[in-house]
Homo-oligomer: A and B are copies of this chain.
Amino acid sequence: MIVIKIGGGEGIDPRRTAEEIAALWREGQRFVIVHGGSHVTNELSEQLGHPAQFITSPSGHTSRRTDPQTLDIFMMAYCGVVNNRFVEALQAAGVNAVGLSGVDGGLLRGKRKAAIRAVENGRTRVIRDDYTGTVEEVNASLLATLLDQGYLPVVTPPALSYEGEAINVDGDRAAACIAVALKAEQLIFLSNVPGLLRDVTDPESLISDIARHRLEEFDSFAEGRMKKKLLGAQEALDGGVGRVVIGDARGEEAIHGALNGKGTVIG
């Protein structure tokens, strides 16, 4: 079992991987896909006059400010367009894909943050109408049922809070949680960078291998979204996943590349 997370940043169209996924699927490889949708969400937010806002926590993590209207826009982008169009492309390529948000069947469950702290100009502010949280539980039985029947699950945030509210969650950490729940051998993160870089401005500075017990030492090279990937990688490895690869979604044969160790391999 492999879990493949395809990012939603600028320049990534998950549909480009459909033929490659179909080939892997026909070979009998079993996997679950998780995808993002942040760039489509940003564009749509702009078009709807409710531009994206990002907040930084006191610990330095960045996340999307998710008021109820933003969550609607988030669902339109992640579930409505990106998920459906990706499933459509997979179906056209001959894969019987099924799209699921984390709300469906309580697939991704977690705690909603009752209050979040945001640092602005050096001051910390508390926000209470935010719908964000972190995935803690995965309904692995739903995924297993679909896989057993020959369906490829294509999973996207949001998740479901314990109170039954849709919540924005980080897709990378959700993918890690799914990988642990399915006892996956590998977790692949594909996004719009070549992997973890020593110097974020230099694509040639790729860190190609990290021993799992040394992962923390590399924290300082991660900025923005990459911090979440390293956190997800750590959670996956701690949960029993054999190997995590952070690879590039943009080239040809992106998935095969990552499976063959192209990118940053942690394990």
Contact = CB atoms under 8 A, between A and B. Distances in A.
A99 B88 contact: no
Interface in A90-120: 91-93, 96-101, 103-106
Interface stretch (A3-11, A75-83, A168-176, A186-194): A75-83
Count of identical protomers in the assembly:
2
A164 interface: yes
Interface of A: 44, 47-49, 72, 75-81, 83-85, 87-88, 91-93, 96-101, 103-106, 141-142, 145-146, 149, 151, 158, 160, 163-166
Contact of A103 (B84, B142, B145): B84
A88 B104 CA distance: 8
Given A76-B76, A99-B100, 11 more contacts: A47-B47, A72-B85, A76-B77, A79-B83, A80-B81, A88-B164, A88-B166, A91-B164, A97-B105, A99-B103, A145-B145
Nearest to A44: B76
